[in-house]
Amino acid sequence: VEFLYCDLASMKSIRQFVQRFRAKNYPLHVLVNNAGVMLVPERKTEDGFEEHFGLNYLGHFLLTNLLLDTLKQSGTHSHNARIITVSSATHYVGKLQLNDLQSRCSYSPHGAYAQSKLALVLFTYRLQHLLTANGSHVTANVVDPGVVNTELYKHVFWVVKVTKWMTAWLFFKTPEEGASTTIYAAVSPMMEGAGGCYLYNEERTKSADVAYDEELQRRLWTESCKMVGISDESSRIP
């Protein structure tokens, strides 16, 4: 195991990480986008993005795009490189406000979190479309880990914290159980060559209807490229 520091809330840190990783000339067979915050009070990343959207979504969007060339070079016809992005069932109630992605008009921790998780599903589907169109040996899938007993809940109300403490053993997954579907997506032979899937409990399932809106996927991708400062090479692909 080798550790390289990367702060997903900082575009500068992400770019520095990618430079350090590329300098090692390693192949990249699996990328798991797993960082996240939940229900944090209204605040911004160092780049001025609303924290849920900036860290949960834009950080992963930039990281994945900067590593795409390495992933494409690492994948083969028989062993595709794999991108796994961790979303949440919360995306089912998420609404993507394209005219207010930073939640400046009215901030709601729940709304901002759900929007960031919906954005990750839209991003994954669009990414798989582009990878397929380019004939790349890379697949992109999105995972719902379920309700997992982690420190992600530290910003919820104290009543919820007490309830969680009392019932976690019954209703919450352990971190190991929560990671199982991500690991399945990363290494299972059953997922070889399969992309554009939403996975829960190691099974393919249906995501929110709005996530399949291809026009919304395209518009979010284009806007995301502008926000993180990369060229939108997908504009040439329907």
How far apart (Å, rounded) are the C-alpha atoms in residues 10 and 157?
28
Residue 50 DSSP class: B
Instruction: Determine whether 184 is an active site residue.
Output: no
How far apart (Å, rounded) are the C-alpha atoms in residues 35 and 8?
7
If phi > 0 it is left, if psi is from -120 to 50 it is alpha, else beta; for residue 197 that is beta
The two counts, helices (H) then strands (E), for the chain are: 7, 5
**7, two tokens:** 């702060």
Catalytic residue among 113, 125, 184, 198: 113
Collapsing DSSP to helix, strand or coil, 32 comes out as: strand
169: number of Cβ within 10 Å: 9
Strands (E), 165-237: 198-200, 203-205
What are the catalytic residues? 113
